[in-house]
Chain A
Amino acid sequence: MNKYDFARSKFLILISFVITFTLLYLLSYTKGLEILSINGNDYLTDESMAYNITLKSEKELTVIKDVMRDMDLVRIKGSNDLVLYYFNDKAEYGPDISWLKDRGKESSKGSSNSSIGIASYSIVLGKDLYKAYMDSKKDQYELVLKDGSVFCDVVGVLESGRFDFRDFSSFVLVDLDSSNLVDFSGVYSVEGDLSIFTSSLKDGGIDFSESDSKIASLSLSGSRFLSVQGIFGGIVLLLFLFTMVLVVRLWFFLYMKEAGVRVAFGGRRVGLLFYVLGKYVFVVCVGILVGVLSFFVYYWLFLSGIGFGSLVPSVIVGVVVVFGVSLLSAFVNFVIFSRKSMRDILES
């Protein structure tokens, strides 16, 4: 690969980069990590707890929680559910809060039934939440749902709540005690496909409206491509791949003339096929490499708590797809090259 090849290959590198990046992004953004249950409450150390979260896909995740922090948000990737859950370093199994059941049902749209310990409980899903804030006049915290309804009674309840997380389904529990709203920073390591991040405080409350912009986990599982975004992404991806095939063909013809000239002055036609393929593969690999590196940098810069283990399958699939399409395109061009007359090639 010399300077001339790079000069001619800039566009192909750019296309390979864009496709790789887009593909990895789409593959990484999966839907359907729905919680089936959360079990645990096992202390790992004096300052941490582990919760096993079983997803409907039957994957089991372990969330390591620093028990010194009292509140965190868990964003289940692609599910649009924000899960707020309560921790307390003094927590053991809490009191019976079964009386929350009816109140929760009345106040939250899209809620579902679950149980907390011995309690059967209606929950508020994160997707219904718009804002949590403290009403200083009433001296209490309120939840505002996206449909405009205010869900405030929970505040006082949760302030004194102690929960057993066993047998949870998707849920939202909010601790709006003022002392717990101070520090939401910090990222927690997660095994599996989940990551945890925390939301920043805004005007004394948590602004859920911004939470959708944060992506906390990666997974190849789920049904991303069945969602509306997934279908749109798929169409975009196909257009990219189609464009790439066209661009590669143009690029290949550029090299075909060089190959033709070399054949005229002593190169072998078969040998020249490999000559062109070598240059082609090199350039595509440069594009893929740049795409993969950019993808990693992008996630590390803008999203916290990404796990290497969950990235690797995405990267592998992305690279295989881009490289596969490239090779397929190269093969098509090979056939064209081998059938063209030297005159056509030299005059191209």
Chain B
Amino acid sequence: MSILKLKNINKTFDTKSEKVVALNDISLEVEKGDFIAIVGTSGSGKTTLLNILGLLDQKTSGDYWIEDKKIEDLTEKEIARLRNENFGFILQNYALINDYSVYDNIKIPLDYRYKKFSNHKAGRKIKDIAKNLNIGEKLKQPAKNLSGGQKQRVAIARALINDTKIILADEPTGSLDKKHTEEILEIFKELNEMGKTIILITHDEKVASICKKIVHIEDGEIVNE
């Protein structure tokens, strides 16, 4: 059974002068444990697709299922919960709160998952994940003091803290040098081997090559899967 299923998804943006078609009749199925690279040039619609997959953006038309739940039938509150429980986001610019400590950045998803999650349990969980990602010593530091590679590790830790099933990564190595890129990709591979479903956006074929499946997208359409 597909963990994610898109059927005939369209997305258009209204600008002052015209309607821009970002996605055109996209259909895609993602199985549990998949490691998919969505590859395309800038403006091809790959980020829009990722945002719709991650429930950050709404489609204009078409159908979208997460497991057996059809998104159109859900309220905003249910969608927010679904996003919290199912998706971990990793973005090119890290999307960290720079003034927050590493610990507090990682903790954000827990704030929405558990209303009465004890600080002790949260602390233990955060420390474990941070240790595995080699940022255990940085927990008290503000995120702004970290290097790019360290920031991305914090972003990964934040994506993992909720034990989400799916990780959505938008150009996760786009701001990193070769050494850090390899380290981050290695982490992705390990996560996938542990059973995480990973959908990764990149324009770098080398990065895409580590994935099990590659989806090419051009002008809002899937041209090769």
- Give A residues with C-beta under 8 Å from B: 4, 7-8, 257-258, 260-270, 341-343, 346-347
Contact = CB atoms under 8 A, between A and B. Distances in A.
B77 A258 contact: no
Given A264-B89, A265-B158, A266-B83, A4 B97 contact: yes
Contacts of A346: 91, 93, 95
Interface of B: 47, 51, 54, 56-57, 76-77, 80-81, 83-85, 88-89, 91, 93, 95-97, 99-100, 104, 108-109, 111-113, 158, 162
A324 to B, nearest CB: 29
A266 B57 contact: no
Given A258-B97, A266-B80, A266-B83, 15 more contacts: A4-B99, A7-B99, A260-B95, A261-B97, A263-B80, A264-B56, A265-B89, A265-B109, A265-B162, A266-B113, A266-B162, A270-B76, A341-B51, A342-B51, A343-B51
A1 to B, nearest CB: 13
Contacts of A7: 99
B18 to A, nearest CB: 17
- If over half of B's interface residues share one DSSP class (helix, strand or loop), that class is named, otherwise mixed; here it is helix
Contacts of A258: 97
Given A4-B100, A262-B108, A263-B56, A268 B95 contact: no
Contact of A347 (B80, B93, B97): B93
Contacts of A4: 97, 99-100, 104
Given A260-B95, A346-B95, A266 B84 contact: yes
Nearest to A271: B80
Nearest to A3: B99
A12 B109 CA distance: 28
Contacts of A264: 54, 56, 83, 89, 95
B170 to A, nearest CB: 9
